[in-house]
Amino acid sequence: MCWGGTFIAGRLLANHIPPMIAAALRFAIASAVLLPLAWQREGGLPKLTRAQMQATFALGATGIFLYNICFFSALEHMVAGRTALFVAVNPIVTALALATLFGERLGGQRWAGIGIAFIGAAIVITRGDPLAAVHDLAQAFGPGEVFMSIAICAWAAYTIIGRHALTGLSPLAATTYAALWGLLLLSLGASTELTRFDSGLITWPDLAALAYLGIFGTVLGFVWYYEGVKAIGPSRTAVFNNLVPVFGISFAAVLLGEPILISMLIGGALVIGGVALTNRK
């Protein structure tokens, strides 16, 4: 639910704040909460080994820097509900990456689930008309879709790297270090967007959206996500991403008045069903 709301918050910010500045502000808020939280709960941050430093940097570079640039850029071009549906493909991309890079075996059932999920994704992306999309690919797969495709690959990498980064680190420590690395990278990128940014355009709803993204979408969402990865593994944890588009579409319809298309419902159901089949024991 926390992550479902991030699409609405991000959509509200898309018209006023450039992508890297918005992402940097999000993780500045998150870091300001994570650091004292880590001190209060764990007595501070542990000293990292060289391997842990490399792993947490990789987390920050993929799941925070790259993902958030693409996330905010996509919301400049796509409605929140449609953007949220892309997240449902994350478990499929994660499973394929684990199979390709780490030799994790995918049986017939999992391949069937992957096939069903990709059919569903095609229906969502092409708005229910795959044949027309073949003739006009640019219209069906625009900049927003490209950005979100990169984002889900970045998140798959973040999930897989997290399996190794958590060795000897608590979810809170791993999340905090990743947030700090991500903030460093985003701050460097944000400096290139200052000429596009007018702080006078920021409204109270924008500040509320940033606070939501920083606290609920990052601190609570990321820490709980990594507690799940540590407890039940990345593949099973990724299944719960199915709830993100459900909440995202619902919130977008209620709060932003976005229409819910038949293609979104049918395609989304196929994606979620395919993911459930892929991860079924």
Got the DSSP string for 58-106? HHIIIIIIIHHHHHHHHTTTS-HHHHHHHGGGHHHHHHHHHHHHH----
Number of domains in the chain: 1
Of the listed ranges 14-23, 128-137, 144-153, the least confidently predicted one is 128-137
**Mean pLDDT score of the chain:** 82
Q: What pTM did the predictor assign? A: 0.82
pLDDT at 211 over 80: yes
Q: In the predicted model, what is the mean pLDDT of residues 22-37?
A: 93
Burial of 19 (0-12, 13-18, 19+ CB in 10 A): buried
Angle at 259 between CA 274 and CA 150, to 5 degrees: 50
pLDDT at 6 over 80: yes
What is the span of the domain harbouring residue 164? 4-278
pLDDT confidence tier of residue 252, bands split at 50, 70 and 90 = confident
Q: In the predicted model, what is the mean pLDDT of residues 140-161?
A: 87
**pLDDT value of residue 274:** 79
**How far apart (Å, rounded) are the C-alpha atoms in residues 258 and 256?**
5
**Which tokens is 78 given?**
């796509």
Is-contact 249 101, C-beta < 8 A? no
pLDDT confidence tier of residue 147, bands split at 50, 70 and 90 = very high
Of all residues in the chain, what percent carry a pLDDT higher than 90? 25
Of the listed ranges 4-18, 230-244, 246-260, the least confidently predicted one is 230-244
pLDDT confidence tier of residue 24, bands split at 50, 70 and 90 = very high
The segment with the largest mean pLDDT, out of 29-38, 113-122, 242-251, 258-267, is 29-38
**pLDDT value of residue 132:** 55
**pLDDT value of residue 64:** 93
Q: In the predicted model, what is the mean pLDDT of residues 102-125?
A: 76
The residue ranking higher by pLDDT, 181 or 104, is 181
